[in-house]
Amino acid sequence: MTTETTLLAVLVIAALILVAKWLRRRIGVLQRLFLPSSIIAGTLALLLGPQVLGNLLPAEDWSNGLWSDPILTVWSAMPGLLISIVFAALFLGKSISSPREIWRKAGPMVAHGQTLAWGQYVVGLSLVVLLLTPLTGIDPMAGALIEIGFEGGHGTAAGLGDTFRELGFANGADLALGLATFGVVFGVILGTVMINWAVWRGHIDPPGKIDEDENEAMSSPENLEAPEAHFQDQSIEPLSVHLGFVAVAVSLGWLLLEGLIRLEKHLLMPLGWPELIEHIPLFPLAMIGGVIVQLLGSHLGYARLISRGLINRIGGVALDLLIVAALATLSLQVLGDNMIVLLSLIVAGVVWNLFGFLVLARWMFPNDWVTNGLANFGQGMGMTVVGLLLVRMADPRGRSGAMEAFGYKQLLFEPIVGGGLFTAASLPLIYQFGPVPVLIGTSVAMLLWLVFGLWLCRARKN
């Protein structure tokens, strides 16, 4: 694999995103679904590749469609690398408040979000243990796919590809990507339906118009600030410095992971502990590395140099490249062979998330349950961006405080689930201990968060 091939593979993705952006502006249904350009570009890459166009063209020279083997090889390797950049950038440049302040503003949001996330494991593992594995023979690790695909999204699903392969469930990555794609689409469609239902029932006021461009819809002051406001040294390009901060965060994550692997190998495994940490990918530790860099920066004074807007751009570019590459190399054969499993998990995940919004949100939020519940429903269906989108649609003026609470919630949520440590560890845990112990553990976690959330809601109402 040469440097020229890698560069060409990246440039092809950039060109596909440009085409997708044009299509998105021309085709109304793509705008109304708020589908990101990266998902459209990834779908284009898949259609123009060996699995669709390559099968339609009779000539042997076109068996790969428009893409060469070296380009497909580069795309296959990109998700596992880029996901660490995405997660390292999550908390860089963010003002990290005290845990007490975070909890005051986001306590109910955290309890509700954690209940939904752990419940996705409970639903998925129960379905696999009781029905899917006995009927189809699917690997029990499929029980984690709802949380990985829906809550974690495309980035997490693609980033766990190596872990799936190491544990002997290579098809899991493709199934997780399929779930993530359905989750985004259904999240936007059902979220829009729920907003209109809430307006009809008088739960919320009719929302204002939302700009149809996803960058406008997701914009915030921190995304629009100029990096020069933070970085005054004109002799150094601010982007290079911010890439350096991301590199330090990823490096710290790698050191943490290596240290944990060595501790497990030399201290725990001689006592009979199974090999778990070896199968945990780098990206959740890279996220912790980002938190360490930010906290040290606040203490040492260099945090003022970090522009959250520029960090968002770096993470956004990495996520766009990751999504396109992952979808371009998605195996349609795997999805077809496991259609019963895929559809069963999709239906189960959607039903659970709707229950979490329509029922649990009423019980667990003392105020503005619709806007707060939509935030977690959107994230539970299709990553953080869908949650942000639904809150912006339901409460464009930010009167409910749901947007701020949702932002604070991520500090106590994403390090654990939604792509955090437990998301990464769930696969080796099921592999080593079986699905039933993990089902019991996740059920306990879900019930604890549910009971705590109900108590917290009652206490705050009183």
pLDDT tens column, 65-101:
788 888 888 888 887 788 788 878 877 887 777 777 7
Cα gap 284→417, rounded to integer Å: 10
Q: Is the pLDDT reported for residue 140 higher than 90?
A: yes
Q: Is the pLDDT reported for residue 210 higher than 90?
A: no
Give the pLDDT band of residue 192 (cuts 50, 70, 90): confident
| Tens digit of each residue's pLDDT (9 = 90 or more) over 250-275 | 999 999 989 988 888 888 778 777 77
Q: Is the pLDDT reported for residue 46 higher than 80?
A: yes
Within 10 angstroms of residue 255's Cβ, the number of other Cβ atoms is 12
Q: Is the pLDDT reported for residue 191 higher than 80?
A: yes
Give the pLDDT band of residue 57 (cuts 50, 70, 90): confident
| Tens digit of each residue's pLDDT (9 = 90 or more) over 6-42 | 889 899 999 999 999 999 888 877 776 666 788 788 8
Q: Report pLDDT for 228.
A: 52
Of 144-158, 231-245, 294-308, the one with minimum mean pLDDT is 231-245
For 276, the token pair is 């778990």
Q: Is the pLDDT reported for residue 362 higher than 50?
A: yes
Q: Report pLDDT for 121.
A: 96
Give the pLDDT band of residue 429 (cuts 50, 70, 90): very high
Q: Report pLDDT for 84.
A: 85
| Tens digit of each residue's pLDDT (9 = 90 or more) over 164-179 | 888 889 888 889 888 8
Q: Where are the alpha helices (DSSP H) in 264-415?
A: 283-300, 308-328, 332-337, 339-355, 361-364, 369-394, 402-409
Range 358-386 average pLDDT: 86
Give the pLDDT band of residue 443 (cuts 50, 70, 90): very high
Indicate the residue type of 59: A
Q: Report pLDDT for 207.
A: 59
Burial class (CB in 10 A: 0-12, 13-18, 19+), 351: exposed
Q: Report pLDDT for 344.
A: 93
Q: Report pLDDT for 227.
A: 52
Q: Is the pLDDT reported for residue 363 higher than 60?
A: yes
Burial class (CB in 10 A: 0-12, 13-18, 19+), 417: buried
